[in-house]
Chains A and B, each alone.
Chain A
């Protein structure tokens, strides 16, 4: 009986402290940042299999090539951004696995272009982060590694070290997989 009372009083004594600790941990935005501040270096990759050429597929590849040509020729940043956005808005034809890589290249170029001005960093992050989400499987291609490096560079500019470190580490893992593929 005495022991049970001792336990009850200990629980009563600890309860406010525990509640306070949980409350602080659950509501303090800094505390949740601490949890998210671990670099996420998970990477899932898949090989890009070449699909059978179709008229729609070739038209898409041609349109993307023209967009890149337009960006090469443009000196004005706004024009570059507009052209790249148009490229990303192109409807992706069915049965063109390479489209994933082509879209990543466009997004990377747009991210690099946007990184040229301070207000573009957040926009670039908003564009690339979902495309390169660690939950998504990414194509085993140099374009993926370049996109991840660009995401890392943007994250550095935004002061998000965890995202930057995770992205760089994932880029290295993609390149490492490519290296092993070549060596085989």
Chain B
């Protein structure tokens, strides 16, 4: 009995079969993770979240819900971005005027009025910068999926 050498097409068919069986098996791709899940791809194979559909109909429904949600959130995100832009632009302007003011204060080191105005301007510059950072960070957090 002579062993027949597998042809290239037989090898290809075998490889496809192995790949398909791996893809269809219960552990294929690891645990499913909803956008609201931990996203860690951990060891728990159970679906996370309550809205995860199994069938095509449920998935379509879920996609529709997400599209609706995006339509609601998009203008809000845009207005938040505009707000952050305004706050950051103001911070830049405030800090640039603060520099001019404190340069003048440097020319009047013994004048309390100049020094007080410079201190106030520095504090306002810092506060405006913090406000800009806070806005951008909160905007970023809102645009990320929850739980990420």
A interface residues (Cβ-Cβ under 8 A, vs B): 38-39, 41, 145, 149, 152-153, 156, 161, 164-166, 168-169, 171-172, 175-176, 178-179, 182-183
Contact = CB atoms under 8 A, between A and B. Distances in A.
B131 A161 contact: no
B87 A179 contact: yes
Contact of A39 (B86, B100, B113, B128): B113
Nearest to A166: B117
Nearest to A161: B104
Band of interface residues on B: 20 to 34
Interface centre among A41, A161, A168, A171 (most CB of B within 10 A): A168
B52 interface: no
A165 B91 CA distance: 19
Contacts of B101: 165, 168-169, 172
Nearest to B89: A142
Given A39-B113, A161-B108, A165-B104, A172 B121 contact: yes
7 contacts: A152-B100, A165-B104, A165-B105, A168-B101, A169-B117, A172-B98, A172-B121
A178 B97 contact: no
Contacts of A171: 97
Contact of B117 (A156, A165, A178, A182): A165
A32 B121 CA distance: 28
Contacts of A169: 101, 117, 120-121
B86 A164 contact: no
Contacts of A182: 83, 86-87, 90
Contacts of B68: none
B90 A179 contact: yes
Interface in B74-113: 83, 86-87, 90-91, 93-94, 97-98, 100-101, 104-105, 107-108, 113
| SS of B interface (majority) | helix
Nearest to A41: B117
A178 B93 CA distance: 12
Given A156-B100, A168-B117, A175-B90, 5 more contacts: A152-B100, A168-B121, A172-B121, A176-B94, A179-B90
Interface string B28-41: 00000000000000
Nearest to A171: B97
Interface of B: 83, 86-87, 90-91, 93-94, 97-98, 100-101, 104-105, 107-108, 113-114, 117, 120-121, 124, 127-128, 131
Contacts of A149: 97, 100
A171 B104 CA distance: 15
A178 B90 CA distance: 8
Contacts of B98: 168, 172
Nearest to A152: B100
A178 B83 CA distance: 12
Contacts of B86: 182
Contacts of A152: 97, 100
Interface centre among B91, B93, B124 (most CB of A within 10 A): B93
A133 to B, nearest CB: 18
Given A171-B97, A175-B90, A183 B131 contact: yes
